[in-house]
Chains A and B, each alone.
Chain A
Amino acid sequence: MEKVKVMVVDDSKVSRAMIKGHLAKTNFEVCAEAKNAAEAVALYEENRPGIITMDMNLPDADGIECSRRIHAIDPDVKIVMISAMKDASLVATGREAGISAFLQKPISTNDLIDTMMVLCQNKVGKIAVLRESYAKAFVRALQQGIFSMIGVHSEVSLELDDRRFLDVSGIAVIIGLTGFPMGRAIVYMDVDTMNKFSAIMLNKDDPAGLEEDEASDTVEEAANIMVGRGVSNINDVFKDKEMRITPPGTIYGTNIRIASPKLTTFRITAETRIGKIYLNVGFAEGE
């Protein structure tokens, strides 16, 4: 999925920079910035952003008039008004002009992103939101984690996993996610990859030198670190919805199937020179 394009309409350069800052590291990308109503209409036609943030006070017209003009071009456009004052009459006239949400300055990152996510859900779908704002945090965590712990580069891919089962022969470290959204992350790999991973992490030349349980304990700890980092990446953005991780539960054996009924799951694959390392992350639906 592509990023959701956002246009920021505000006559203040500082306010525009602040909004841009709030949206950094998210799946919302500022594609256009307008400092007055005329520019906003022109840039809207040119860029067709999915969402617009609208200031109330503009030099050539107010935010409501500007919204009305853009709404006339596209009745489906999502406009969030960000203004210093917010009262009932502003909300009422704003709604008539096609504004979907109202935020009062100073805005928090959480409020802005939450509002935009809600507005976007109908447009881009819940799965896209989970993928962009949550699953991708684990993509970075997996790639950076593998590199920082064993110095190995990886090619990482992310896909929606609609299989009913995760098939594991080797090791799977299951870590629960609590808070919002709930779910679980599973880091898994085959025995050969587990042994090589652990040997490198523990500075042993040969995986044969690993003691009993040493390899699985090492992978368990590595998984814990990577999933923890993924959750931190999410908490960095959504500061009020603290996600937490439960201690790991680790399974090993051959031909194990793991089912996660009712979860929307994503499979992240890291291809490395020591084998494939997977991170499957699932989120409870309907949250």
Chain B
Amino acid sequence: MDAKLVNPFVDAFTSVMPQMGFQEPKRTKLYVREKNAVSRGVSVIVGFTKQIRGNVVYNMSVDTAKFIASTMMMGMPVNDFDTMAQSAISEMSNMLTANAATNLTGMGFEVDISTPSLTIGENFQVKISDTQYLTVEMDLGGQVVELDIAVDQQ
């Protein structure tokens, strides 16, 4: 995939998250992956089509997901990753992806995004590409959110 397509996602993350009450996120790692991603516990998959095709996964631990859900809900305690917390993570994924899609549109690409699918489990594999793709790790107030980005320009 083309590395220039990563920035719209990183930019979306760094601009959207502070609006929801998080500290400025930092990009800590960026690397190329060939193999399947392994879920950290909670993985949200969102698909892209039209001029940009592929998938993006927001991959995080259950604890990180609870931390994010709690912050999004104005600090409400989140003890279990329950329905409300799941909705919050889904909603976050939606916002991030829609924002990234807007950034891609700004680059002249027509894109359509699917609804997010939230998957929960331990050590399951996620395959989003037959070829290399890019993984970005973002630091969000000491928590790690991994973005697995496998999108290509048609």
Q: How many residues of A contact B (CB 8 A)?
A: 37
Q: Is A164 an interface residue (CB 8 A)?
A: yes
Distance between A110 CB and nearest chain B CB, rounded to angstroms = 20
Pick from B57, B83, B86, B119 the residue with the most CB of A within 10 Å: B119
Partner of B127, one of A175, A186, A216, A282: A216
Partner of B126, one of A245, A251, A254: A251
Are the CB atoms of B120 and A256 closer together than 8 Å? Answer: yes
Q: Is A101 an interface residue (CB 8 A)?
A: no
Contact A178 B90, CB 8 Å, known A246-B55, A246-B114, A250-B126: no
Q: Is B8 an interface residue (CB 8 A)?
A: no
Could you say which residues of chain B place their CB within 8 Å of the CB of A256?
119-121, 124
Q: Which residue of A lies closest to B127 (CB)?
A: A250
Interface-facing stretch out of B20-28, B43-51, B134-142:
B43-51
Are the CB atoms of B112 and A178 closer together than 8 Å? Answer: yes
Are the CB atoms of A253 and B125 closer together than 8 Å? Answer: yes
Interface-facing stretch out of A5-13, A38-46, A146-154, A257-265:
A257-265
Are the CB atoms of B50 and A244 closer together than 8 Å? Answer: yes
Could you say which residues of chain A place their CB within 8 Å of the CB of B57?
249
A-B contact count (CB 8 A): 121
Partner of A245, one of B49, B54, B119, B127: B49
Q: Give B111-132 interface residues, CB cut-off 8 Å to A.
A: 112-115, 117-128
Contact A174 B112, CB 8 Å, known A253-B125, A262-B87: no
Distance between A228 CB and nearest chain B CB, rounded to angstroms = 12
Are the CB atoms of B124 and A258 closer together than 8 Å? Answer: no
Could you say which residues of chain A place their CB within 8 Å of the CB of B121?
253-257
Contact A249 B47, CB 8 Å, known A254-B124, A256-B124, A261-B83: yes
Could you say which residues of chain B place their CB within 8 Å of the CB of A220?
127
Could you say which residues of chain A place their CB within 8 Å of the CB of B39?
251, 253
Are the CB atoms of A178 and B127 closer together than 8 Å? Answer: no
Could you say which residues of chain A place their CB within 8 Å of the CB of B83?
164, 259, 261
Are the CB atoms of A183 and B126 closer together than 8 Å? Answer: no
Interface size range on B against A: 20 to 34
Distance between A225 CB and nearest chain B CB, rounded to angstroms = 16
Distance between A6 CB and nearest chain B CB, rounded to angstroms = 32
Contact A176 B46, CB 8 Å, known A183-B114, A249-B126, A261-B87: yes
Taken together as a complex, chains A and B put the C-alpha atoms of A216 and B125 apart, in Å, by 11
Distance between A173 CB and nearest chain B CB, rounded to angstroms = 9
Distance between B154 CB and nearest chain A CB, rounded to angstroms = 11
Taken together as a complex, chains A and B put the C-alpha atoms of A182 and B128 apart, in Å, by 20
Are the CB atoms of B117 and A260 closer together than 8 Å? Answer: yes
Taken together as a complex, chains A and B put the C-alpha atoms of A249 and B58 apart, in Å, by 13
* B53-83 Cβ-contact flags toward A at 8 Å (1 or 0): 1110100000000000000000000000001
Are the CB atoms of A184 and B115 closer together than 8 Å? Answer: yes
Are the CB atoms of A182 and B124 closer together than 8 Å? Answer: no
Are the CB atoms of B123 and A253 closer together than 8 Å? Answer: yes
Q: Is A75 an interface residue (CB 8 A)?
A: no
Distance between A263 CB and nearest chain B CB, rounded to angstroms = 6
Are the CB atoms of B127 and A260 closer together than 8 Å? Answer: no
Are the CB atoms of A176 and B120 closer together than 8 Å? Answer: no
Q: Is A284 an interface residue (CB 8 A)?
A: yes
Taken together as a complex, chains A and B put the C-alpha atoms of A172 and B117 apart, in Å, by 11
Please give the residue numbers on chain B whose beta carbons come within 8 Å of chain A beta carbons, in ascending order. 39, 43, 45-50, 53-55, 57, 83, 86-87, 90, 112-115, 117-128
Inter-chain pairs besides A178-B49, A246-B48, A258-B120, 7 sampled, C-beta below 8 Å: A176-B113, A176-B114, A184-B117, A247-B53, A249-B57, A258-B117, A261-B83
A-B contact pairs, 21 of them (CB 8 A): A176-B48, A176-B117, A178-B47, A178-B50, A182-B114, A184-B115, A244-B112, A249-B128, A250-B127, A250-B128, A251-B39, A251-B119, A251-B124, A257-B120, A259-B90, A259-B117, A259-B119, A260-B115, A260-B117, A261-B118, A263-B115
